[in-house]
Structure 1
Amino acid sequence: MSTQQPPIERYLTHLQAERRVAARTLTLYTDALTRLAAGAAELHIELNALQSHHVRMLLARAHTGGLSPRSLALQLSAWRGFYRWWGLQGGVKLNPVEGVRAPKAAKPLPKALPVDQAVALANQSPEHTDPALAARDHAIVELLYGSGLRVGELVALDCQAGDAAAGWVDLADGSAQVRGKGSKWRSVPVGSAARDALQAWLAVRPGVASAGEAALFVSQRGTRLSTSQVRTRLKTLALQAGLPTSVHPHMLRHSFASHLLQSSGDLRAVQELLGHANISTTQVYTKLDFQHLAKVYDAAHPRAKRR
């Protein structure tokens, strides 16, 4: 490798010939290092004279220019690797990128169904060749949306309480006892719609479940239903209900929390029902609630229209 080549070109040659990085990686690193060279030129500073505050300045410019946190992190990784390699070559004494971090990416808000779509899914009569399995699917949707269970909590439910049970439903009391994350128990209410659906399923369950099977929800083979089977059935049910989006179990949990908060405004109660250890985990739903309020405002308030 010729030492007469500019250092960035030498580094890219090193990546290609010696490190044998993938073509896509090489393209991304080439773009990132081109940005570095252009930024240094704009600052009228040689690459071997860049310092950490210069790197932060270039990072801020790229962020202002619309580069996402993920892209910025990739860019910094390329710059850091280049200076680390160049230092081993004796080109620089210090790596100006060490200690510089990209801004954190904003956490995406959990996706919740609009109320009308959630109700349409819950009211959907599952199309199934086996009426018993259709009753099972209906009970699953009602319990996921009506009680905000995690899918793992749902499939762990047994028909009856017991020392070995990971959860059960008490229809007489209108509640479910579930063991969530960290093996912490909590009690959640089971609404009338879910109770009716569960009673319909329990009436036909003996004809589906294997002898001695404790699980509340079983597959057509008679054994405990798996989380992946619930996800598959839920996608199918959403299509049958005409929903425009793919639905997964956690989306119904998000819908439960968001719709409950919209109606009650009681964040602490929602936290307890979801089984969140920290209120900060639940506070994301206040953002969902504000989005709902903002839409109502934009649609109804005479001063909301932007010119």
Structure 2
Amino acid sequence: MRQVGLILENGFQIMGLSALAAFELANAELGSDGYRMTLLSKSGGIVRSTMNAGIETVALGVMPDTVMVAGELLPGPIAPGVKAFLVRAALEARRVAGVCTGAFVLAEAGLLDGRIATTHWAHARHLQERFPAVRVDEDRIFVQDGNIWTSAGMSAAIDLALALIEDDHGAGLARNVARRLVVYHRRPGGQSQFSALLELEPRSDRVKNALTYAKENLRNALSVEELADAARLSPRQFSRVFREETGQSPAKAVELLRLEAAKAMLESGRHAMDVVARDTGFSDRDRMRRAFLRAYGQPPTSLKRSLKLVGTEELE
């Protein structure tokens, strides 16, 4: 049985506990071969969240197989005892993980020096400024660098836990746990923290419905007429309302959705360029390349190189 210890300090963000739900459901699948979970703190006893919920903890001592650190809404200095325990954990535990702003705790203990790490996007630049030796990637869902793992905020704690479960027991179990949690099977670590649908921020249900339709039918041409029909508006009225609510033309918004989907497919490393272009509605590689250059200032192959996922084909 693998031991998972989650370190809490007063002021922890309660959403960080969601990671333990994934391990709990893994136990339902694994039985006695699963996980033993322990809530830890420097001295043990009651630790309170930002919502003032009290959680009983055990004092730091025996080293778990996997050490996790919960994040705080406002990351601050860590207790010397916690720091010393984490320094030891980097050498003795099989894995150490920071959930959300838990990355600040790992960084203060020196565990992230020279490593790639992530955290909630709202705190990423602060992390980089405070700990310049850390290579902060502010746009990732989670990052693994050696035996050190870090995740973005809030719901990304579940993605991190599912990734750890997959690391232990394979994709099949992680998929079953995700199904029990009623979440999408583990988002790839390289997936962006941002969503084109969230960035567009439509107000009305009609525009939201049109964008959802577009996202689910990227292979289609997605003309203004097709989107207007999904919104149950005339093409002229749809174009006007769409721009008022999103600040974008329908064509530009569709391109953003195609880019987001294409980027996710490329980051998975499992698809050829032609397949990505076809499945995301770009029609051909050259059109996709031009869209990438407009949006990211680099072609798709440069993205793949940066993720160390380049295959044998090139799109230059």
- Relative to the length of structure 2, the TM-score reads 0.28
**Higher CA-based Rg:** 1
Structure number with greater CO (CA < 8 Å, separation at least 6) is 1
TM-score normalised per structure 1: 0.29
